[in-house]
Structure 1
């Protein structure tokens, strides 16, 4: 699995497998901590990535959402929803990062 990770995440997973295992376990535990569906969790994570302004994280969560069957239109709506709390420029950037994946 760690061979498939891009960039810095793959480097950490390969160089520090115990850290990567702990990180993975934390992600699994937080996913099980409530009643959100897998689709809802995926969209929330995409929204959080947009909120941080991290292009790499938005790409990653958009790829995962796409693999999980989330439509490009639904992901783009998440970007549009960012207009109010985060501002128009952040939403435009997020939409472009999502389309990098969905149209790429």
Structure 2
């Protein structure tokens, strides 16, 4: 677990460890089901998170995309692609969340 996980998420995992383990196994199975590399998969998941306006998922996938080797410019482009599909306000919100993640990482370093 990392410092980035919301308390409610950690509490849910602690309360339902079997469900959390099954979810982790499903996620690992899906991640390995096809030819996409981790960076590409994270950028796609970022777009899905933006589309659903899932603040935590956007932040998580920004962090994971950067860890998988995506540049800040690649992450920004993945977010910008949301303008014509999801709309300007949703895209700006995701861009804000991305900037907060990047600022937090700079403070941690």
- TM-score higher than 0.5 here? yes
User: Normalised by the size of structure 1, how large is the TM-score?
Assistant: 0.90
List aligned pairs for 1:1-104, cutoff 5 A. 1=1, 5-104=5-104
Question: Structure 1 or 2: larger helix share?
Answer: 1
1-side partners of 2:7 and 2:78: how far apart? 25
Unaligned runs of 5+ in 2: 105-109
Is the contact made by 1:4 and 1:10 (CA closer than 8 Å) also made in structure 2?
no
2-side partners of 1:85 and 1:21: how far apart? 34
User: Normalised by the size of structure 2, how large is the TM-score?
Assistant: 0.86
Number of matched pairs: 104
With 82-91 and 64-73 compared, the bigger mean Cα shift is at: 64-73
